[in-house]
């Protein structure tokens, strides 16, 4: 007699597209973390939408460029998810199978993005675009109908298990992509103030500030990726963040710091403000003087830093807990 095994539901195909231009970009990490979450429930393929994709990133994560002439180098139908990029003005969509669903994770404020992705050419016959935003702040700014899911973060990697005990010299730091738009030049005054008050200032993704700030023994400027993000955060007592021209639709680095139990002092502008309660799980400021006041308060009070640290960890675990993740998985797999 033959043994019959119960039929199992066939896993869907999910294709995730991103520019994948840098190893240290938030959009790239969002795409990779989403792939990791969905990989237990679907067959995942990663595709670089940019010809300038980072070769190292592609090699590490089995990311491919689309080649319509090779069967194993083009999407084969299923669910197409575009993360911070789009398919318009490309010729390859006409030479691959039609997706069953078309999802656009819109993680920027670029005004042309909606116009480009809202409707597909009649000849293409792709389904209507479903939008996912990554913060309520972003939805209010854009005023579009969309699901909202926070940009996924691997809490197993970013945790507080290896946090260093309090040091005699307070370490204040931040990290970002290494571009000037990610920095507010008003912060140069804050970094100098911190350094003169015997705080160690660690700025990763800040080589662009080399010619803009006076050298100081307590200020270290590093390129993006110079130190592993987790190791960098573990050595901080306070995470400070403010941007210049760039407005964060979410701010992954904020929540990575919070997951590691590092108290955050951040400008009151950006998607991360949805989840930060001023004075409870972090601090938000509107002016440079307010920023200095928040930093001074945290630097002088070990007990307060511990309290903020605990609340910050609780917040990210609520954001990315089992219930929240299940809702996200259900939407991407089944549309609800």
Tell me which of 132 and 125 has the higher pLDDT.
132
State residue 258's pLDDT score: 97
C-beta separation of 58 from 68 below 8 A: no
Instruction: State pLDDT tens for residues 273-311.
Output: 999 999 999 999 999 999 999 999 999 999 999 999 999
Computed over every residue of the chain, the mean pLDDT equals 92
pLDDT digits (tens, 9 = 90+) for 175-196: 999 999 999 999 999 999 999 9
Per-residue confidence (pLDDT) for residue 130, from 0 to 100 = 95
Predicted local distance difference test score (pLDDT) of residue 163:
72
Least confident stretch, 1-5, 54-58, 161-165: 1-5
Domains of the chain: 13-152+320-334 (3.40.50), 171-318 (3.40.50.2000)
Q: What is the pLDDT of residue 90?
A: 86
* Percentage of the chain modeled with pLDDT above 70: 96
Confidence of residue 144 (pLDDT cuts 50, 70, 90): confident
């Amino acid at each position: 007699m033959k043994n019959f095994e119960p039929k199992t539901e066939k896993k869907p195909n999910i294709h995730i597209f991103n520019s994948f231009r840098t190893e240290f970009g938030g959009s790239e990490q969002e795409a990779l973390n989403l792939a990791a979450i969905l990989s237990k429930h679907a067959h995942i393929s990663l595709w670089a939408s940019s010809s300038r994709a980072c070769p190292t990133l592609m090699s590490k994560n089995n990311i491919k460029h689309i080649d319509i002439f090779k069967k194993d180098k083009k999407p084969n139908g299923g669910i197409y998810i575009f993360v911070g990029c789009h398919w318009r003005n490309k010729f390859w969509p006409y030479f691959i199978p039609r997706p069953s669903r078309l999802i656009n994770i819109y993680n920027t404020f670029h005004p042309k993005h909606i116009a480009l992705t809202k409707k597909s050419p009649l000849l293409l016959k792709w389904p209507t675009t479903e939008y996912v935003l990554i913060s309520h702040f972003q939805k209010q700014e854009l005023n579009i109908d969309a699901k909202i899911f926070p940009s996924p973060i691997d809490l197993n990697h970013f945790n507080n298990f290896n946090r260093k005990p309090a040091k005699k010299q307070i370490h204040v730091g931040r990290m970002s992509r290494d571009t000037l738009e990610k920095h507010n030049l008003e912060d140069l005054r804050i970094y100098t103030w911190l350094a003169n008050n015997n705080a160690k200032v660690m700025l990763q993704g800040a080589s662009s500030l080399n010619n803009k700030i006076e050298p100081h023994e307590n200020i270290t400027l590093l390129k993006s990726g110079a130190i592993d993000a987790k190791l960098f955060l573990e050595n901080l007592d306070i995470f400070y963040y403010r941007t210049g021209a760039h407005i964060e639709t979410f701010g992954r680095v904020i929540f990575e710091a919070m997951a590691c139990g590092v108290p955050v002092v951040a400008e009151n502008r950006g998607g991360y403000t949805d989840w930060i309660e001023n004075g409870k799980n972090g601090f938000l400021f509107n002016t440079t003087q307010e920023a200095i006041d928040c930093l001074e308060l945290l630097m002088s009070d070990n007990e307060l830093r511990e309290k903020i640290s605990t609340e910050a960890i609780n917040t990210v675990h609520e954001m990315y807990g089992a219930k929240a993740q299940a809702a996200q998985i259900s939407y991407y797999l089944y549309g609800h």
